[in-house]
A and B are shown apart, each in its own frame.
Chain A
């Protein structure tokens, strides 16, 4: 405890209220004096601030391209920006499968396109755009951009597994702004207006547009993956093995996108983790008017562009269906009700895949082998939808 030994500064001898002041002024806790404001000190500080300001501007300029690159590394090329760039730099597909991550993991584009071509008897190309955690708020803005480009896909299959339609899916809501930043076209006032309308946090969206460093700072996580990969490569060359410390999975290697093509069997950790994700996502399940409005707008936009639209329920692991029968039923009823109101067909594959752990990344996503097994069933349903 500080005692009277500490230096004490006395207040002035009298105060305006006429009482002799006995107030201590606490020189101990006052910040140290900065010293005289000499011209040299002021000049140095001004220069340092100017350099800092220039640095901040440079960081804004480089943060978007660096962020895109690092995001691509972190998500094994399945980040929103990479998928959107792939879409705009390739010919428009005949069938576009759109939605949260299962839209990508459950579909092997090559096998599906081959099966569709064989079934229909002419070349048909299917493409997927599956974005982790994205919900209709983002997909509405994405549909706007898809329809800005001509020609349009003949059929658009909107996937939904349940939580992505819930207003209270926290993980889905936090994914909206990063997704919007990645597909932004600030020269299009219509897009800007729509993005601000659908964003759960419009002011934060605008900040990310104005100062891209706020939009892309989180991509720095991929540096850890790059450093680990470099460390593993060097250690393999130098000591002939990877040290135990570098054998732990990096943040990039824990994602379904990475495991899709590299992991042959679902691990218990992935299985229980995905059950938790589903359970949390379905808590307080509520298809709010805002979400419904985005679904309706998105479908109206696609139809206005001449595209057919269907709802697609991708496979869920049989153990998940058994663990959460109530939630699965609630979600199905909601999707059926929306489909009824919007006059849409629903293709339901939720129980189409077997228990076999070799076919799943986790309880929500098929792996490459599973997507291959699933492709013929999906091709049959999509060919019918395309023909009808």
Chain B
């Protein structure tokens, strides 16, 4: 059930109505039932996976919470089980395929790839939530003792498939307090959903098609094509994933739950580090807490100088980030490219942009550097390594011309990117809700705005469905 499908648009209001009609005590149960139905609508047998992992993590968590002396062993057991689930379903097929290819390359006998498991949706997200739960218990947090409340934490359907990655302390506190109906939260939820639908249908799907024009035939791309294609994909990725996050947050708010943010105007980042504090924040801060800090503090890196140790930790963390994004060598390459880009950016920022120079030059220089490094790294996301390198070649030596895109299509990509930057700058300076909050017409403007966005989203979705016969999947759908 895709967030942008008519089925979800019918499913969500039905669950919302039942939720608020039911007595408070039964609401979490309804949410679990709806969430399992939501999960089963994709592939019913895999319901056992999320259910089984929930049961195991609940059991281990209960024992950990009893201050047993075996907490460390229990933590490792929980980590092993969750990572194994992720490894088997997400990476085993890829490793099998890679081993087979390597053996073929070396002229060795090797059976043909045997593993063909479908990747369970949301697996990468809910295993990270389980890992966070177990590690935080080990670090001293209180466990969730109520099995219903615990089951709701990974299963909660708005965040089930593609996050944001929740933190259990914050989420469980809301479940325990049984959210009361707040019209402000409900209204904001509806607004977030329609904004998300608009971003996906009107912008992400259309810009994505332009990027694919370049990526599907990189050998003919000129320098401008290659950069515009990379920029187009970057814009598509932002609008696609932030649309998903908006719909997830909006859906959660219809039940009174407020879940984490994922984006904070990432196109305005002026350093690579700043970018990661604005982009896919729930993953970034998860990686900071459960990969970067532990790796940085490990004795293995103790021999290195602090700055070098930080850089190694950063590269390892972003390598994990890349591999988490998908089972493929391109994701390994993306992780490494992101890691080394962060190191380069750090060196440049310290040695160049922090020197005495006009503020505007420092900010704009840092911004350009950040965007260039990002575009170079992000081409590994949708492409094979060879295609990505081919694109790199054309980005630098492709000749200053366009072979694939027309000037109108080029302007469309640049215009959407530039327009988004301008809008994000303006929103930071003049938050619209602040501007209208004291106006008497606010009660009319907000629904009018929501209807306009919803109408435009439906129009673009229908126009797109006329081409493809089905709603476009979100990029992070099968993660």
A13-45 interface code vs B (CB 8 A; 1 in, 0 out) = 001111111111110111100100100011111
Chain A contacts to B: CB under 8 angstroms: 1-4, 6, 11, 15-26, 28-31, 34, 37, 41-49, 51-52, 55, 204, 207, 211, 214, 217-218, 220-221, 223-224, 251
Inter-chain contact A51/B443, CB cutoff 8 Å: yes
Q: Does B57 contact A (CB under 8 A)?
A: no
B169 interface neighbour in A2, A11, A45, A46, Cβ under 8 Å: A11
B209-225 interface code vs A (CB 8 A; 1 in, 0 out) = 00000000000000000
Q: Does B10 contact A (CB under 8 A)?
A: yes
**Which chain B residues lie closer than 8 Å to A4 at the CB level?**
293
**Which chain B residues lie closer than 8 Å to A42 at the CB level?**
183-184
What are 19 sample pairs from A and B whose C-beta atoms fall under 8 A apart?
Answer: A1-B314, A2-B276, A3-B292, A24-B289, A25-B167, A25-B169, A26-B167, A26-B170, A29-B260, A30-B170, A31-B261, A41-B184, A45-B184, A48-B447, A51-B447, A52-B447, A204-B7, A221-B466, A251-B466
| Chain B 53-112 residues near chain A, CB threshold 8 A | 64-67
Chain B contacts to A: CB under 8 angstroms: 6-7, 9-10, 64-67, 136, 139-143, 164, 167, 169-170, 182-188, 190, 249, 258-262, 273, 276-277, 281-282, 284-285, 287-289, 292-293, 310, 314, 317-318, 342, 437, 442-444, 446-447, 450-451, 458-459, 462-463, 465-466
**Which chain B residues lie closer than 8 Å to A29 at the CB level?**
164, 167, 260-262, 281-282, 285
For the complex formed, measure the closest distance between the CB of B205 and the CB atoms of chain A, giving whole angstroms: 15
For the complex formed, measure the closest distance between the CB of A383 and the CB atoms of chain B, giving whole angstroms: 41
> How distant is the Cα of A26 from the Cα of B287 in the complex, in angstroms?
12
Inter-chain contact B281/A28, CB cutoff 8 Å: yes
Inter-chain contact A214/B9, CB cutoff 8 Å: yes
For the complex formed, measure the closest distance between the CB of A240 and the CB atoms of chain B, giving whole angstroms: 23
Inter-chain contact B184/A1, CB cutoff 8 Å: no
Inter-chain contact A44/B443, CB cutoff 8 Å: yes
> How distant is the Cα of A56 from the Cα of B390 in the complex, in angstroms?
51
> How distant is the Cα of A20 from the Cα of B185 in the complex, in angstroms?
35
> How distant is the Cα of A3 from the Cα of B317 in the complex, in angstroms?
11
**Which chain A residues lie closer than 8 Å to B318 at the CB level?**
1
**Which chain A residues lie closer than 8 Å to B437 at the CB level?**
41, 44
Q: Rank and list the top 4 A-B pairs by shortest CB-CB distance, nearest first.
A: A21-B140, A47-B443, A45-B183, A29-B260
> How distant is the Cα of A289 from the Cα of B355 in the complex, in angstroms?
79
B186 interface neighbour in A15, A45, A224, Cβ under 8 Å: A45
**Which chain B residues lie closer than 8 Å to A11 at the CB level?**
140-141, 169
Inter-chain contact A52/B281, CB cutoff 8 Å: no
For the complex formed, measure the closest distance between the CB of B157 and the CB atoms of chain A, giving whole angstroms: 18
Inter-chain contact B7/A17, CB cutoff 8 Å: no
Inter-chain contact B183/A30, CB cutoff 8 Å: no
Instruction: Indicate whether A2 sits within 8 Å of B285 (C-beta atoms), given known contacts A23-B139, A51-B444, A223-B459.
Output: yes
Inter-chain contact B285/A28, CB cutoff 8 Å: yes
Inter-chain contact A214/B10, CB cutoff 8 Å: yes
